Amino acid sequence: MLEGLVVIVTGASKGIGRGIAEYLVDQGVKLTVTSRKRERIEAAAAELRDRGGDVLAVAGSVGSQDHAIEVVDRTVERWGTVDGLVANAQSFRPTMPLLEVDESDMDVLFDTGPKGTLWFMQAVHPHMAAKGRGRIITFGTNVGITGGPGYGPYGAAKESIRSLTRTAAREWGCDGITVNCVNPASVAHRAPPDDDPDRLASYKALFDNHPMGRDGDPVSDIAPVIGFLLSDASQYVTGETFQVDGGGLMRP
């Protein structure tokens, strides 16, 4: 279903992005992985190659439009095409009340969130449109929907990504490109967050009255949904937000 596809995964050195990358190489996907720190993404790529993956690593800031263009150009140079984009990367800031948010907080989150996602979406578009087939997957967050205290700038950035997702789905559908967003629940790569009382409280509350009572696993819970959205099975699904959170959004 996925074997032979060429896919870019941003923010692939750890956490959800890393789990998705592992899943995809196991499915025979040719993979370009990116992250800000060169040593981390090179180490991740080496481990992915040890799993048998055909992997290209490119380091750089997701908030740079030049980086997005470089990643896509190098991907096409190596494999001749790009079939999918998994725009997972997003910098994070400490939780804080809205009254304490400053310009630098907003700049970091919006540069690496909606702006970085858009730069990658723009860069892959002509290659996907030229062959009439493409899959773009973006990432939101439930705290953008629920208004999680302390997560105002992060939630706002993620909601902007969801808006871009819907607009791209409408504008690029006739090009054969689907664009969907995933709201995952997988915070284990940051646990235990006991260095920050607000984050610790949010982490514990995440599973209070949770339908499944557990965190999402990046490889076995999150990545298979990404696989579906990259596949031909999702060819008539676009502009949607997928709550891959074990039903967590239903909590009262």
- Range among 93-107, 114-128, 134-148 with highest mean pLDDT value: 114-128
Distance separating alpha carbons of residues 68 and 42, to the nearest angstrom: 18
Catalytic option among 151, 154, 203, 236: 154
Q: Is 154 a catalytic residue?
A: yes
Sign of CA dihedral 218, 223, 226, 228: negative
- What is the model's pLDDT at position 194? 59
Q: In 149-231, where does DSSP find H-type helix? A: 152-172, 197-206, 223-230
90: alpha, beta or left? (left if phi > 0; alpha if psi -120 to 50)? beta
E strands of the chain, at which residues?
Answer: 6-10, 30-35, 55-59, 84-87, 134-139, 177-184, 241-244
pLDDT surpassing 80 at residue 140: yes
32, 34, 50, 239 from 78: Cα distances, Å: 10, 15, 19, 30
The encoded tokens of residue 88 equal 């997972």
Q: How far apart are CA 135 and CA 137, in angstroms?
A: 7
Instruction: Tally the C-alpha atoms within 13 A of residue 39's C-alpha that lie toward its C-beta.
Output: 0
Question: What does the longest C-alpha to C-alpha distance in the chain come to?
Answer: 50
Closest CA to 25 of 237, 245, 229, 227: 227
- Residue (of 240, 93, 98, 200) closest to 154 by Cα position: 93
Question: If you write DSSP's letter for every residue of 12-25 in order, what string do you get?
Answer: -SSHHHHHHHHHHH
Q: Quote the DSSP letter at residue 61.
A: -
Lowest mean pLDDT among 35-44, 104-113, 143-152, 217-226: 143-152
| Chain segment 39-73, per-residue pLDDT in tens | 999 999 999 999 999 999 999 999 999 999 999 99
3-state secondary structure of 94: coil
Q: Is the pLDDT of residue 35 over 90?
A: yes
Give the mean model confidence (pLDDT) for residues 2-8. Answer: 98
Predicted pLDDT of residue 202: 66
Q: Are the beta carbons of 185 and 142 closer than 8 angstroms?
A: yes
For residue 190, the model assigns a pLDDT of: 54
Q: Which two tokens stand for residue 170?
A: 């409408």
Q: What is the pLDDT of residue 93?
A: 81
Q: Which residue has the higher pLDDT, 252 or 210?
A: 210
What pLDDT shows up at residue 69?
A: 98
> Residue 8 is encoded by which pair of tokens?
């870019």
Nearest-5° Cα angle at 227, 167 to 221: 105
**Would you state the pLDDT for residue 87?**
98
Q: What does the pLDDT look like over 186-240, one tens digit per residue?
A: 655 455 555 667 667 766 766 777 888 778 889 999 999 999 999 999 999 999 9
- pLDDT (mean) for 146-152: 87
